[in-house]
Amino acid sequence: MTATRLFVDFGSTFTKLVAFDLEGERLLGRAQVPSTVDTDITIGLEQAFALLSETVAFGEDDKRRTVACSSAAGGLRMVCVGLVPEYTLEAGRRAALGAGAKIVGSFSFELTESEIREIEDIRPDIVLLTGGTDGGNKKVIVHNAAMLSRAGKGVHNVIVAGNKSAYDHVRALFAGSHKNVSFSRNVMPEIGVLEVDAANDKIRELFIARITEAKGIARVRSLIGDVLMPTPAAVLEAATLLADGAPGEPGLGELLMVDVGGATTDVYSVAKGTPTNVLVRFTGLPEPYAKRTVEGDLGLYHNLDTLKAIAERQAVPEGFEEAVAAMCRHNSVPEGAGQTACHLLLSSVAVRSAVDRHAGSLKTLITPNGEVTLQRGKDLTQVAWLIGAGGPVSFSADPGAVLAGALFEPDLPTVLKPKAPEMLLDEQYVLFALGLLAQSEPGAAVRLMREYVVPLAARRSAPPAGGSGKEPERSGDHVPV
């Protein structure tokens, strides 16, 4: 077995291939070609292999050992069905997000016939059914199971992660329905307790076993190892590893990561987030240590209108309107000073808005016993590391300015963003690959991250030609290192 390891990210627009040498522990090179998932995903993969082979030597065995993640064919599309919106539905949503899913529908209380039609039309890859604490409410989850069991073809895979006392009944309802139903532990076994890990694992299992098959992604199994997880899950794995380290390889400690893309902005925090001020009381659902949120309406290409509208609440530079229009026409590198300024502004708006929503907040109340301050969400003020990922940040003319949107603002002291973190950059777009490598060789993955997730001040190279999206650069580009 050679020391070369290959990793692929099947994106919706690009197929990205990254090669590492595990012996020398270095990045050998990367290649990127337009995605061919709509026709035959293996075509793009073969093209990426061919392109990479121009600069990196690797053999058939290396190809066969390649592991992959995917956000192609719409990513992992999930519908969450729960009971109360703020409790078991929210717990289900967090499990789905942590597993790297894209939430395409959320439903609470008893499903109606029209909601079932809606879910059928959405055709989700998975429906996550929650509701009730263990021993708690059975009525609603049983009703919803009955409704889902009678749903048409649009509903196929169902994961149940609700009140365990209802499982026998739920199982009986699905018997003979030809739905693929699996059971996991309750995401909210008791009030105020969140347990998303088991559901998370179940989602990934199903993703590997069934979803990739249904989307035509599994065809690549004839060429490479396996498609292990959705891309955001790989990035969350990388973020967690970077924070926690591996046996013998210390991590950085608590961190915040922002990944700006063409269609969405993802925020990952690996931090407890408990109040840093002893006088502050925590309220609301407990927060997962490794947390992902995704802003589906904040993208540097597909959802530019939202970003533009937010940016326009403040003063915008001259020629902003035209520059945005030009960016909409070409999903490409900003040209000229005007477009560059506009791109910078919109990227920082994306980062600021997404991190504002991810971070916790404080609210002060006056009571007969004096002032009381309540915290909802994570306190990230003392987080020491802020990591930028995704084309619009990594290949930006001024990543520091873009990431500054994630910093604590003295004018907005109730939003608990990091006060003085050191900024790092996933300059080479390797985090997904290292998240995948972490599954088998966590120690090497940590060391490689230290090497390739670089301090802003020490960027190795001038920014390569960039574009918008987590899938940056020109197609057919390869960057030998």
Partner 1 sequence: MDHLGCIITGTVGVDAHVIGTKIISRALRDAGFKVVELGAQTPAEEFIMAAQETAADAMLISSLYGMAEQDLEGFRDKCTEAGLDGILLYLGGILGVSRRDFAEDEAKFKGLGFDRVYPPEADVRAAIEDLKGDLERLRRNDV
Chain residues binding partner 1 by CB under 8 A are 83-84, 86-88, 131-133, 135-139, 163, 188, 190-192, 283, 365-369, 372, 374
For residue 108, the minimal CB distance to partner 1 (Å) is 10
Closer Cβ to partner 1, 250 or 284, answer by number:
284
For residue 12, the minimal CB distance to partner 1 (Å) is 37
Whole-angstrom Cα distance, residue 311 to residue 307? Answer: 6
For residue 195, the minimal CB distance to partner 1 (Å) is 14
Closer Cβ to partner 1, 151 or 188, answer by number:
188
Closer Cβ to partner 1, 82 or 299, answer by number:
82
Closer Cβ to partner 1, 172 or 191, answer by number:
191
For residue 145, the minimal CB distance to partner 1 (Å) is 16
For Cα atoms 74, 69, 292, give the angle at the middle one, nearest 5 degrees.
75
User: DSSP string spanning 394-452?
Assistant: HTSS-HHHHHGGGS--TT-TTB---SSPEEEEETTS-HHHHHHHTTT-HHHHHHHHHHH
* Lookup: tokens for 10: 């099947």
Closest C-alpha to 424, from 405, 401, 400: 400
Closer Cβ to partner 1, 337 or 365, answer by number:
365
Whole-angstrom Cα distance, residue 340 to residue 348? Answer: 12
Closer Cβ to partner 1, 314 or 369, answer by number:
369
Q: Name the strand (E) or helix (H) holding 260.
A: strand 255-260
The helix/strand/coil state of 259 is strand
For residue 95, the minimal CB distance to partner 1 (Å) is 16
Closer Cβ to partner 1, 136 or 469, answer by number:
136
For residue 88, the minimal CB distance to partner 1 (Å) is 6
Contact 204, 157 (CB under 8 A): no
Whole-angstrom Cα distance, residue 471 to residue 211? Answer: 22
For residue 372, the minimal CB distance to partner 1 (Å) is 6
Q: How many CA atoms lie within 13 A of 428 on its CB side?
A: 27
For residue 131, the minimal CB distance to partner 1 (Å) is 8
CA distances from 152 to 33, 64, 114, 156 (A): 37, 38, 13, 8
CA distances from 86 to 78, 125, 262, 269 (A): 18, 24, 30, 21
Closer Cβ to partner 1, 109 or 205, answer by number:
109
* Lookup: tokens for 110: 């008893």
Whole-angstrom Cα distance, residue 387 to residue 422? Answer: 8
For residue 124, the minimal CB distance to partner 1 (Å) is 23
The helix/strand/coil state of 127 is strand
For Cα atoms 464, 469, 473, give the angle at the middle one, nearest 5 degrees.
25
Which residues, listed in sequence order, are joined to residue 388 by a DSSP beta bridge? 258, 425
Which residues, listed in sequence order, are joined to residue 456 by a DSSP beta bridge? none
Closer Cβ to partner 1, 286 or 336, answer by number:
286
For residue 71, the minimal CB distance to partner 1 (Å) is 33
* Lookup: tokens for 314: 């403040």
Closer Cβ to partner 1, 195 or 259, answer by number:
195
